Amino acid sequence: MMKNVLALLAAACGLLWGNAWAQAMPQPPEVAARAYLLLDLTSDQTLAAREADSPVQPASLTKLMTAYLVFDALRLGLLELKQALPVSERAWRQPGSRMFIDTRMKVPVEDLLKGLLVQSGNDAAMALAEGVAGSEERFVQLMNEQAQALGMKATRFVNPTGLSQPGQLSTARDLAILATRLLRDFPDQARFHAIRKYRYEGTPPANDSNRNLLLFRDPSVDGLKTGHTEAAGYCLIATAQREFPHLGPAGAPGVRRLLAVVLGTDSENARATETQKLLNWGYTAFEAVKLFDANQPVLTPAVWKGRSAQVRLGRPLAVVVTVPAGYAGRLRTEAVRPDPLIAPLKKGQASGTLKINIGEHTLSTIPLLALESVEEAGLIGRAWDAFRLWIQ
């Protein structure tokens, strides 16, 4: 009887805390868009979402995948930034937004990337696709293979430009995955997303401004891409980084990066305004708390049958969590690891977990990794530890 009473009390407390936590969570602003998603990339947490998994036409946000494959080709040495690519008639005839290159030109990859990401040039997209894969058809195959590799399970590409075609679909969540991986996999190329003005020599001077109005309105915004078709509406994926106290090494100031995906607004100005609203809310309604520095051990447990008696478990990047403003003091952590922990262990091997909680609510569960390798001990050392484990 007493056990039943205690169980009911525990359930009631859990329900009360769940309701209290739901009330504590900041409510996002009204966003005049078909779908949106706001991520804190510093803590890998979703702050707000609406219709994030609904299929949509991605319009020129498609060009982020085109850029991803070009950046990958540059990394692999298959292309060089200064390498000049021909402009095929197919590229020259692309409708919609263009950088206005023609078949008489050979255009360096670097300029085509600027035309792709600043001017949203469909001609630049096609020239790059043909330069990487030889044909649009083969490039689209690569786009879809890469989408699956990134975990974009609801996405299918039909062309490298984003022009409306049957079957070309994605979601806000998948597009957020793509934008996040672009920033993380190619940090040295992020400068292309932040260029405000560019035009290639011999093309119209009036066609020189980035369509992302937030690059001109908010100095913390440094990318990524706009999109628009009649079917998709006006879309924007924007990222910003702002300095916050205590997020850097040893408690120094550091940067906090947010990513907003806003799809299906009514105008060029609306997509910028609604995205700005979402970014500002994310920065003010939530605070980021650094719990551990990069490579700081969370645990240093004993290791059995190894050449080292202990191993440091932590993360190669700082452990940061995002909480509603004013809730930082309520955080608590719980580290769990296998017992006994037996060698060999490889550097980077998952060897435990860190649960980050507020009350009864788990904000995040993070794998703890071995920060160094622990080789297996010799025969005598292994035998001695086996005996010690047996008598425990």
Q: Are 104 and 200 in contact (CB under 8 A)?
A: no
For residue 22, is pLDDT > 90? Answer: no
pLDDT above 70 for 21: no
The single residue of 43, 97, 120, 170 carrying the catalytic annotation is 120
H or E stretch at 117: helix 109-117
Same fold, 35-290 and 293-391: no
Catalytic residue among 43, 63, 114, 290: 63
User: Active-site residue 120, yes or no?
Assistant: yes
Among 24-28, 112-116, 363-367, name the most confident range.
112-116
- Between 62 and 14, name the one with better pLDDT: 62
**pLDDT reported for residue 392:** 72
Given 60, 97, 170, 351, the catalytic residue: 60
What gap in Å lies between CA 356 and CA 364, rounded to an integer? 5
> What is the pLDDT, as a whole number, of residue 385?
65
DSSP one-letter string for 12-55: HHHHHHHHHHHHHSPPPPP--SSEEEEEETTTTEEEEEESTTS-
Per-residue pLDDT at 321: 94
**Which uninterrupted H or E stretch holds 132?**
helix 122-133
Give residue-wise pLDDT tens across range 85-98: 999 999 999 999 99
CATH of range 293-391; options 3.20.20.140, 3.60.20.10, 2.60.410.10, 3.40.50.1220: 2.60.410.10
pLDDT tens, position by position, 323-332: 999 999 999 9
Pick from 224, 185, 156: nearest CA to 74? 185
Q: Is 364 labeled as catalytic in the residue annotation?
A: no
DSSP state, residue 325: T
Q: Judge whether 220 counts as a catalytic residue.
A: no
Strand partners, 226: 236
Q: How far apart are CA 99 and CA 108, in angstroms?
A: 13
- The domain spans of the chain are 35-290, 293-391
Q: In the CATH scheme, what is the homologous superfamily, with its name and number, of domain 35-290?
A: DD-peptidase/beta-lactamase superfamily (3.40.710.10)
pTM of the model: 0.89
What's the start-to-end Cα distance of the chain, in Å? Answer: 37
Q: Which residue has the tokens 């990318």?
A: 223
How many CB atoms are closer than 10 A to CB 55?
A: 14
The more confidently predicted of residues 369 and 382 is: 369
Using DSSP's 3-state secondary structure scheme, residue 88 falls into coil
- At 149 the pLDDT is 98
